[in-house]
Each structure stands twice: as C-alpha cells, then as structure tokens.
Structure 1
Amino acid sequence: MVANSFVTTYNSQVAPLSVQHSHLNQVFKAIDGGSCPYSYNFHLHTTSSDGQLLADELIEQAFELGLKGLAITDHHSLNGYYIAHEWLAHHPTPLSNLPQLWTGIEISADLLDNEVHILGFAFDPHHPSLIPYLTSMTAVGNDYTATAVIDAIHQAGGVAVLAHPCRYRKSADQLVAAASLLGIDGLETYYAYDNPKPWRASPHQTVQVKALAQQYNLFTTCGTDTHGKSILYRI
C-alpha cells in the first residue's frame, strides 16, 4: 500500500500531457550546443532495446547528474520509460527536484527509399496509433513508411523528430526536405557523429542541420544516443 501511495502521489503531480507537450516545445526552442549532456538529453537507450544500462540505472544517473529533463528512446519499446517512471514515482525527493521524464521512442522508417530513425516525444503511451511500433521489431508494410510513423506520433499527441540527419546514405538536405513535407516537427541538431570523449556535438554537421532547422522552421534537439554504461557518451 505504501508503494502504491508513492506512485499515486507522483502520478497526481505529473502535469497533463498537453502541459508536458507545451513545456517540451519551450525546451526545444531554447536548446543550444551547451544543453547536452548535462542539462537535457533526448536520445538514450536501455536494455529494453540495444542499450547496456538498465532503465533504473539510467534514470539514477540522470538524477545524480542533475539533468533537468530527458527522454528514454528505446527502439520500438516503452518498457524502459515505464521502469524509469516507476523509479521516479518511488523516489523520496520532491517532484520539483526530479528530472522531467517525457515519453520517448525511436522508430525505424523508410524515407526516400532510405531507412531513417524517427524519434517521438511527449505522446500518450497508450494511444492505439503506436501499437505497430511497440513490438520491439521494425514495422513492415505501410506502417514502415515515414508518413505512417510521423502520423502515428502526431495522433498520439507527440512530437516527431528526425534523428541524426547526417548519418544516412542520402544527404541531410534531401531527407529533411522530404520529412518536412510529411510533417516532421524537429531535427536532432546537436549530435556527436564521431563519438568523442568528452561529448561534444560535431561542429560541421551541427551548422548544417541547424541551418536546415531554420530553413524549414523545425525544432532543434540534442542527445547522446547512449548505448553504453554512461549517459554522457554514446558508447
């Protein structure tokens, strides 16, 4: 009963989805090169997909680092999010001193005959539009198209972001132009393509993607794309 009381209290204090969405939009508008990895991190993986950190280990690191906000973006799974949510719900620290945890996911999709990854944030995790993307496997058929993925995230009330736009076979210019026509909301602008330690966004790609975000009036996000044991790096 005590544990359930903690969860009920935490859930009652968490802002409604519409408020979380509005807050996230404000955060994205303020994201810059210094936001990641010590203030915000919007690209993180756990053992629920292909990461090495357990979800409770990841959220504990986020708390100890003093992160203001984050999203766990496992591939085609929300299990890590739910575990981290429970960790926060049972933590004795006041909600105002805990990091903001938004729903997150990374979904593989076809865009211009090129497989890309689309990040979803601040969506209703129980919305039926997401069912094809919560199987721990890449969707097939029409569900695999970027159009379907972006639409599903939007139907669930979320924000759709093209992950690491400079990491694909086709150019960022081509992919962003196409994604913009489909309703993409943002670009992962601050990303470390060469996995440096300490983490830093790759300068050349950052300039390119930031210019594209401005050209198409898209949000900019940042993330370490953590797959290893520290949320400060990719591996």
Structure 2
Amino acid sequence: MAELLVLRHGQASFGADNYDVLSDLGRAQARAAGAWLRQMEWTPDRVITGTLNRQIDTASEMGFAPAPETHAGLNEYDFANLLEARFKDAAPELATGDRRQHFRVLRETVFAWQRGEIENPAETWDAFTARVEAARAFATDTDAKRVLIVSSGGVIGQMTAASLHAPAAHMMNLNLQIKNAAMTRFVFSGSLFSLNEFNATPHYATPQGAALMSYS
C-alpha cells in the first residue's frame, strides 16, 4: 500500500488585499510539519502542489528534496467569485476581520453553490469536484510509495468526503474543521483509495507547538 499525505497550506493573509501570501505564522507551521515528518522518517518520493502561492510556498518551507510538481486541480475554489455571483452588487463586506461572519457566509454560499442556486459562477460545483478527482487520480497514478500534496481546505474536504462516499454538504463540514498545515492521510493501491487519518497536527502536540495552531 502506498500513502498519500495531503497537507493544508500554512496560514495565509486573512483580511489582507492579497490573501495568497503566507504569514510568518504560516511559514513556521510549514517548517514544523516538515520537521515532524523528517523526525518520523517519512520522506516523500513525490511532492505535488496546486498553483497558488500559499501552497507552493508551504511546500518550499517544508524543505523536502523532490522538486514539486503542480496541478491546478488542487487549487481552492474561488470564494470571491462565488460571493460576487451570489450577491451581485450586494455582497457583504468580509474583509473586516470578523471571522465569525466570514465563515457563516462562506458556509451558506458553498451550500448554495452545491445546490446549483448560484447563477453563472466561474466554476460550477460539478467542475470543481471533477478537477479535484482528476488531481487525486494524477497523484495516485504513480510508482511512488509516499506522495505529499499541499493543497487547501475545500479540496481536502472534497477529497475526504468523496473517499467516504458522503453527501456533498459533508465536504463543507469537513472543510471548516481543517487546521492550517494539518495532515490528512490516505492509502492507495490500484483502484483502492481509503481515508486513514484526517486533520492531524502531531507537530503542534507540545506547549510550544500549540502556539502555532490556526484555522485561517
């Protein structure tokens, strides 16, 4: 059996003009994850990220030798576009640091997207799930025994929900739980693909490491 370890990127720049930049905390989270994996003698044979800066830079901070490949199927869904498509000119202001409002609107918007209630989004729900599956297939079509992916919460939530044959709404319930630089592990062999571990953060399991914990 081979392993697919999917890591959510480190903390990005919540509330900033450009979210797609790792914070100093995000860089420290990525380094902690890489250090813990090396301590466990878990070294990837293959590294894959999406094309977003926060994903690529997380992989870089982890410091593993294989040159990362990229696959756009691992990119996060475009929440800003979904907001614009859902609310038109009446989109709520979310760049204020109010995290509770942000995540409530995020959850409701994704559920509406899944139900096909948002007109003309840049990407449909079906297109999103198809590209996530294409990325999963790309990552597991390999002779490598240890594959590391760096992606985002929505992609990880969808990959996990699909592996469990769970209803679409479950993707978002999983998405909102995933901590920055958390590890979700699958095992695979041929057509077999099974969840082994979800949202694990053993690299935060010390008093010093606990200070690195974040969700956004």
Q: Is TM (by shorter chain) over 0.5?
A: no
- TM-score, length basis structure 1: 0.32
Task: With a CA cutoff of 8 Å and minimum separation of 6, indicate the structure with the bigger relative contact order.
Answer: 2
- TM-score, length basis structure 2: 0.34
Bigger share in helix: 2
